[in-house]
Amino acid sequence: MVALTSFSNTVKMKSIPKVFLLILLVQFSCKPIAKKSSTEETAPNYWASIELDSLKKFNSFEVLGLSTDDRLVEISGMVPSVANTGLFWVHNDSGDKPQLFLVNTALEVQFTVLFTEKVKHLDWEDITLSLKDGKTMITIADIGDNRAVRNNVTLYQFEEPKVQTGKESMRIDEVEVMNITYKEGPRDAEALAYDPIGGNLVIFSKRDEKIKVYLFEFSAGQKEVQSDFEVDLTALNPSSAYPNMVTAADINSDGYVLLKNYEDVFLLVNADGSSLEELLRAEVNFERVNYIPELQGEALCWDLTDFSYYCTSEKQDDGIFSGVQPLFKYQ
């Protein structure tokens, strides 16, 4: 996923006076300075002073881990692994080669998946899980298009692998490819999810006045999709500069929807177990939930078993502040 502003070269933290450093830490949500120490040495108390709104959902959080792995340069998509309990699949934004990483809660790479040559990496933006014939499928969304010039965007779908003990990587050759054309013309999007109740994949657009919602079934080959619904999050945070610039989405097994932009996370409650299409037709409203804004926070997913969610960010470097990537859990 691509930053809102271009970043200059990183200023070395050693040259910044201690007082100014403390100010920077407050300004950037108390994020830690990059260190070579372990997670235990790097993690303590940078977020200890932050109090979440007790009136909002997910009113507690914890930092599970902090990544300093140079392979994880721009995490833009994340899902929990079904086949490999307690681990997460993540991928980088544009600029990386086609590869998928299996990481633990400290954001340490445990395994790497490589692909057949037909899988390309132009601008991978999100990843989601779905079920097909009793199998867990992974779908990667190569849908980023900041300038809205791509005539086609692409989804890659394959069965989730179980990692092999004693190996560090594997190659997947059996991948289905779906090329998508938007009926309204090219547009940028960074959020892909799967609705387990309606059985549809869903793409949420990013740079429209209102969020366009595209619901469709996965099918290999070429397909045109049309937006029948729009979502407007503006009223939920009137001070937000980019309320409808959705950068990530996920839907849990009960049909509850999470959307995130650069400043907030929003929840769509699904008390009746309705499909996303039914919810949108009923014109129900999202609500703003607790979330600590990150530098380029663009990856989010539900927990597989409880009512909590995880999020992490692209490499935290805005030209002045440089820090490691935290993995947050909100519950």
SS3 assignment, position 279: helix
More confident residue, 271 or 9: 271
Place of tokens 């990667």: 140
Residue 15 has pLDDT above 70, yes or no: no
Average pLDDT, the chain: 86
More confident residue, 15 or 146: 146
Place of tokens 């650069």: 262
Place of tokens 């440089």: 322
For the residues 292-307, what does the mean pLDDT come to?
92
At 245 the pLDDT is 96
pTM of the model: 0.85
Q: What is the band of 147 on the pLDDT scale with cuts at 50, 70, 90?
A: very high
By the 8 A CB rule, do 84 and 102 touch? Answer: yes
At 134 the pLDDT is 94
> Which tokens go with 273?
């177990």
> Which tokens go with 180?
């998508």
Residue 27 has pLDDT above 70, yes or no: no
Q: What is the band of 25 on the pLDDT scale with cuts at 50, 70, 90?
A: very low
CB count in 10 Å sphere of residue 24: 17
More confident residue, 215 or 32: 215
What's the CATH number for 13-330?
Answer: 2.120.10
For the residues 143-157, what does the mean pLDDT come to?
96
Largest Cα span, the chain: 59
Angle, alpha carbons 39-59-280 (nearest 5°) = 115
For the residues 312-319, what does the mean pLDDT come to?
65
The phi and psi torsions of 304 (rounded to 5 degrees) equal -75, -25
For the residues 287-307, what does the mean pLDDT come to?
94
For the residues 137-156, what does the mean pLDDT come to?
97
By the 8 A CB rule, do 258 and 192 touch? Answer: no
Q: What residue type is 179 in one-letter code?
A: N
Q: What is the band of 319 on the pLDDT scale with cuts at 50, 70, 90?
A: low
pLDDT digits (tens, 9 = 90+) for 204-242: 999 999 999 999 999 999 999 999 999 999 999 999 999
> Which tokens go with 66?
């902090």
Alpha-helical (H) ranges within the chain are: 18-27, 39-42, 276-281
Q: What is the band of 37 on the pLDDT scale with cuts at 50, 70, 90?
A: very low
Pairing of strands 176-182, 221-225: parallel
Angle, alpha carbons 264-213-196 (nearest 5°) = 90
> Which tokens go with 21?
């450093």
Q: Dihedral of CA 81/112/144/292: which sign?
A: positive
For the residues 251-262, what does the mean pLDDT come to?
97
Residue 317 has pLDDT above 80, yes or no: no
pLDDT digits (tens, 9 = 90+) for 95-122: 899 999 999 999 999 999 999 999 999 9
Residue 10 has pLDDT above 90, yes or no: no
C-alpha dist (Å) from residue 201 to 139, 163, 225, 250: 9, 26, 11, 11
pLDDT digits (tens, 9 = 90+) for 167-182: 999 999 999 999 999 9
Distance CA 181, CA 170 (A): 31
SS3 assignment, position 182: strand
Distance CA 146, CA 167 (A): 37
Angle, alpha carbons 181-182-183 (nearest 5°) = 110
Distance CA 272, CA 8 (A): 48
Residue 7 has pLDDT above 70, yes or no: no
At 315 the pLDDT is 62
> Which tokens go with 177?
């490819």
pLDDT digits (tens, 9 = 90+) for 258-270: 999 999 999 999 9
Residues 6+ apart with CB under 8 A from 1: 74, 76, 93, 125, 144, 190, 247, 296, 298, 314
For the residues 35-55, what does the mean pLDDT come to?
65
For the residues 295-305, what does the mean pLDDT come to?
92
Domain residue extents for the chain: 13-330
> pLDDT > 90: what percent of the chain?
73
